[in-house]
Amino acid sequence: MTERVNESTIGAHGRIITVEIMGRPYSVPEGLTMLRAMWYTGHEVVRGAGCLGGFCGACAVTYRTRDDVRLRNGLACQTVVVDGMSFFLNFSYYPNRKALYDLDQLSDPKQDLFKIYPEATLCRNCNACTEACPQGIDVRDGVWKSVFGDFEKVSEMFMDCVMCGQCIPVCIADIAPNHVALYASRVQGARLTLPPENLSKRVGEIQSGKYDREWKRILSMSEEDLKVASQPSK
């Protein structure tokens, strides 16, 4: 059954809230169940919709509420959405606590990891995340290297990470290892790696105006002149 939620179905629900369904944000009326929120946003839910009474268990759902690192389970036909909630009805997407941070504002990037992802230190060494990784990455070792500040090695280890999130639901410490590694990689690239010498030199030349005259000449050229100029010299 794919009951379509319309204005008459919404009833007295007036306030609009934002939820994330399978990774995409939607605005829905407050008070809807997860299943009705999916119908309201145009999801054709057939598989995963059963009795609608909380008995058959067909609409098992995994969700996360705002600022809560814990993944929770429930029934989509019974669980009411709240603002900031993220959920999915199947196993194609895993809700994450997506920490917000500005790389330029970090005072001590390696220590700030513990403020942004404090759960990273709770790794139990169970290795379930590594076993779940389809890319063969040693995820557990990557988490520990992040904790000990070896961001350069982490960025190398996770070059093949596709952010599938398979490591998240198996973690007994509620860590999102892929996001911890992403933070380490971003910090390494933006804050801890010196730019190439030649690149810094060229940027300095551009900023000093060395190429301004040539740039103005190019901007003044016609489309035909640009085509001729772009041809390789014989």
**End-to-end Cα, the chain, rounded Å:** 69
Residue-level pLDDT at 67: 86
Domain ranges of the chain: 7-88, 103-192
Strand, helix or coil for residue 21: strand
Residue-level pLDDT at 147: 97
- How far is residue 173 from each of residues 53, 58, 87, measured CA to CA in Å? 32, 27, 19
Q: Do domains 7-88 and 103-192 have the same CATH topology?
A: no
22 alpha carbon, distance to own chain's centre: 11
DSSP string, 127-140: -HHHHH-TT---HH
Closest CA relative to residue 178, chosen from 149, 150, 140, 152: 140
List pLDDT tens digits, range 77-127. 888 999 999 998 865 456 777 789 999 999 999 999 999 999 999 999 999
- The CATH number of the domain covering residues in 7-88: 3.10.20.30
List pLDDT tens digits, range 25-82. 999 999 999 999 999 999 888 766 777 876 666 777 788 999 888 787 777 888 899 9
Axis-axis angle for helices 177-187, 139-147 (nearest 10): 50
- The CATH number of the domain covering residues in 103-192: 1.10.1060.10
